[in-house]
């Protein structure tokens, strides 16, 4: 019963924090420091898969349009037909552009950051995130298009979220807003950006884990995935509402308070 409750807590925390700008990985590290639970890395990977399904569910219509456009473009290339510019093509091209710098940063710095990922280093990441959120909230809204340049810099910001306590969704959203991208477009693109990265990280960590001999609690794995999926959907809906109301400072206050707690108790 205790283990089942811990699995639920991890799935809940991952689901809620993945799409809110408060660093899901930082919260998972904190939970791991409080409780002794086997295969925490495997559980974290499964929780990320749950949130992956959440963003796919919430953006299923848009993803269907993007895949359909990609298929038509591939067919046009083979037929040597001229590609007519449209919004869906721009989005999937921007997703490719955004993913490239993220992957490069991960490949270059992942081992170093993993070795230095600990509770005492989260404080500074949380504080940096809080400052960025306040700046983004104060930034006057523009309505610039999400072009290739902006996508590239949002990809760089996503790579920087490897730093302990830096939120992936927060860093990409703040970057988009500082570049002048419309809030809704920046947030939608931030969510879509998470799909290839979560898939890649899940495959990478999964290969490493399953090459070892692990004793897997399949019931616990199921609890984590379902819980992170359900609360991931809720997290996306909450974020969409709060961003449109200029309420990012709520998360900044939370991160500052959390940093103070970590400084006192660690």
| pLDDT grade for 112, boundaries at 50, 70 and 90 | confident
pLDDT at 38: 61
> pTM score, two decimals?
0.88
Contact yes or no for 13/28 (Cβ under 8 A): yes
pLDDT tens per residue across span 173-211: 999 998 999 888 899 999 999 999 989 888 877 776 666
pLDDT at 228: 95
pLDDT at 76: 81
pLDDT at 209: 67
152 vs 262, which has greater pLDDT?
152
pLDDT tens per residue across span 74-92: 888 777 777 767 788 899 9
Average per-residue pLDDT for the chain: 85
1 vs 224, which has greater pLDDT?
224
pLDDT at 223: 92
pLDDT at 115: 66
pLDDT at 221: 86
In the predicted model, what is the mean pLDDT of residues 234-253? 86
Q: Which of 47-56, 150-159, 163-172 has the lowest mean pLDDT?
A: 163-172
| Cα separation, 178 vs 158, whole angstroms | 14
Burial of 207 (0-12, 13-18, 19+ CB in 10 A): exposed
- Neighbouring C-beta atoms of residue 125, cutoff 10 Å: 21
Region label for 249, one of left (φ > 0), alpha (ψ between -120 and 50) or beta (otherwise): alpha
């Amino acid at each position: 019963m205790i283990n089942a409750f811990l699995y639920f807590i991890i799935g809940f925390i991952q689901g809620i924090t993945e799409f809110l700008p408060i660093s899901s990985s930082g919260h998972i590290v904190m939970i791991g420091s409080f409780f002794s639970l086997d295969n925490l890395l495997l559980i974290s990977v499964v929780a990320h898969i749950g949130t992956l399904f959440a963003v796919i569910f919430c953006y299923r219509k848009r993803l269907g349009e993007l895949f359909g456009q990609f298929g038509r473009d591939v067919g046009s290339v083979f037929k040597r037909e001229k590609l007519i510019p449209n919004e869906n093509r721009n989005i999937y091209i921007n997703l490719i552009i955004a993913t490239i710098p993220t992957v490069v940063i991960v490949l270059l710095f992942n081992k170093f950051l993993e070795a230095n990922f600990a509770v005492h280093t989260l404080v500074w990441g949380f504080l940096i995130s809080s400052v960025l959120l306040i700046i983004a909230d104060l930034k006057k809204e523009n309505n610039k298009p999400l072009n290739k340049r902006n996508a590239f810099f949002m990809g760089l910001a996503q790579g920087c979220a490897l730093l302990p306590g830096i939120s992936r969704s927060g860093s990409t959203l703040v970057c988009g807003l500082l570049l002048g991208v419309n809030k809704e477009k920046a947030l939608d693109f931030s969510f879509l950006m998470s799909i290839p990265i979560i898939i890649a990280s899940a495959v990478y960590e999964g290969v490493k884990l399953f090459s070892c001999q692990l004793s897997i609690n399949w019931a616990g794995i199921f609890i984590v995935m379902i819980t992170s999926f359900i609360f991931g959907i809720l997290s996306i809906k909450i974020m969409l509402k709060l961003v449109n109301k200029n309420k990012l400072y709520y998360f900044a206050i939370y991160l500052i308070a959390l940093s103070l707690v970590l400084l006192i108790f660690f």
